[in-house]
Amino acid sequence: MNFAPLPSVGAASVPADGLVLDVREDNEWAAGHVDGALHVPMSDFIARFGDVTEAVAEGRRAYVMCRVGGRSAQVTQYLVQQGIDAVNVEGGMLAWEAAGRSMVTADGSPAFVL
């Protein structure tokens, strides 16, 4: 079988108004996440696939992110197979934090990558 390379970008290349799709679990999300990101945990992904298709309905690209890039790579591959414009964010939230990109928490406490 011949697989196309997985589309991916570095954390510093994600546009400020880009649609970030965070597939980490609830406890990881609570510790710190990208402001405005769509949170659909990988464990709930198929059940909540409609939330994702709705978010990308206008042809928006989804920037898929997890902690280091493994789970998001799987989700990105699935989305691309469904004909959705999706890219994996290389290095995930750890790379996002290392690039100095901002993170938030729901309660206003200091954000960190769990």
Report if residue 105 sits inside a domain: no
pLDDT for position 58: 85
71 is in which domain, residue-wise? 16-98
| CA 82, chain centre distance (Å) | 17
Pick the catalytic residue from 38, 64, 66, 79: 66
Report if residue 111 sits inside a domain: no
Report if residue 4 sits inside a domain: no
Report if residue 104 sits inside a domain: no
Spell out the residues 6+ positions from residue 69 whose beta carbon is closer than 8 angstroms to its own. Answer: 8, 88, 89, 90, 91, 92, 95
pTM of the entire predicted model: 0.94
Report if residue 113 sits inside a domain: no
* Catalytic status, residue 42: no
Helices (H) and strands (E) in the chain, counts: 4, 5
Fill in the amino acid letter for 84. I
Report if residue 55 sits inside a domain: yes
Residues listed for the chain:
114
Report if residue 107 sits inside a domain: no
Is the Cβ–Cβ distance between 97 and 8 less than 8 Å?
no
Report if residue 27 sits inside a domain: yes
pLDDT for position 5: 81
Along the 114 residues of the chain, how does pLDDT read in single tens digits? 555 689 999 999 999 999 999 999 999 999 999 999 999 999 999 999 999 999 999 889 999 999 999 999 999 999 999 999 999 999 999 999 999 999 999 999 999 999
Q: Give the chain's domain count.
A: 1
CATH number of the domain to which 34 belongs:
3.40.250.10
Q: Which class for 5: exposed (0-12), middle (13-18), buried (19 or more C-beta within 10 A)?
A: exposed
